[in-house]
C-alpha cells in the first residue's frame, strides 16, 4: 500500500510533455514562460528572435511552438507572426503552433487559425488557461491519427501477420495483390 501511494506521488510530479519552443521578443515573457511551463514540459526552449525558429526546429525535436505575433517595435498587425506560422507549417506540418499576442483581434485570430494555428492566446494570459490550452492541443494531436496512417499501420500489421506472404495479406485485406503493391509503394 505504501508503495502505491509513493508511486502515485512520483507519477504526479512527472512532466508529461516533451519540448516546447517559446518565441517572443520580450525577455520577461520568456522568463515567465520558463517558470510557468517548467512543471509541464521536459524541455523549454526559448528564442527572442524568430529568425532562428526553423534552424532550431531542424536541430531539435519540438512538440509544440508558442509563437508571439509581433516582433518589430511599434508594429502590432500580427503579420510577422502569420508569416512565421506559415513557414513553420510548411517545414513542420505536424508540429502544432499556438499564437500569442497582446493585441486581441478576432480577425487576426481567425487568420491565424485559417493558416494552421492550433489555438490563440492573448496577453496578459491566465496561467491555468494557457497550460490547459497547450495540454489540450498536444493531447488532441496524440489522439488523432490520419486515415492514411491508420491504413499504413493496418497493412504493415497484416503483412507481418502473414509473415510477408503478400498474396495471403491481400486476401485478408480484401484487396487484390496489385492493389496491395500500389499501397505499399506509398508506405
- Are 137 and 96 in contact by the 8 Å Cβ rule? The answer is yes
Please give the Cα distance from 1 to 164 (Å, whole number): 47
Which has the minimum average pLDDT: 9-13, 50-54, 114-118? 9-13
pLDDT in tens, 35-90: 999 999 999 999 999 999 999 999 999 999 999 988 776 666 777 889 999 999 99
Tell which residue, 59, 43, 60, 52, has the closest CA to residue 23: 52
Q: In the predicted model, what is the mean pLDDT of residues 123-152? A: 85
pLDDT for residue 113? 82
Would strands 64-68 and 119-122 be described as parallel, antiparallel, or unpaired?
A: unpaired
Model pTM score: 0.68
Amino acid at each position: 500500500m505504501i508503495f502505491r501511494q509513493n508511486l502515485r506521488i512520483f507519477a504526479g510530479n512527472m512532466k508529461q510533455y516533451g519540448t516546447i519552443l517559446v518565441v517572443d521578443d520580450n525577455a520577461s515573457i520568456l522568463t515567465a514562460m520558463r517558470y510557468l511551463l517548467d512543471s509541464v514540459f521536459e524541455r523549454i526552449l526559448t528564442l527572442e528572435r524568430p529568425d532562428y525558429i526553423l534552424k532550431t526546429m531542424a536541430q531539435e525535436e519540438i512538440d509544440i511552438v508558442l509563437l508571439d505575433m509581433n516582433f518589430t517595435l511599434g508594429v502590432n498587425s500580427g503579420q510577422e507572426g502569420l508569416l512565421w506560422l506559415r513557414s513553420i507549417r510548411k517545414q513542420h506540418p505536424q508540429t502544432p503552433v499556438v499564437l500569442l499576442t497582446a493585441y486581441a483581434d478576432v480577425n487576426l485570430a481567425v487568420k491565424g487559425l485559417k493558416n494552421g494555428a492550433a489555438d490563440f492566446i492573448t496577453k496578459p494570459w491566465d496561467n491555468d488557461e494557457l497550460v490547459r490550452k497547450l495540454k489540450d492541443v498536444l493531447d488532441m494531436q496524440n489522439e488523432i491519427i490520419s486515415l492514411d496512417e491508420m491504413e499504413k499501420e493496418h497493412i504493415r500489421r497484416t503483412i507481418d501477420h502473414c509473415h510477408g506472404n503478400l498474396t495471403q495479406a491481400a486476401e485478408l485485406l480484401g484487396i487484390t495483390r496489385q492493389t496491395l503493391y500500389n499501397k505499399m509503394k506509398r508506405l
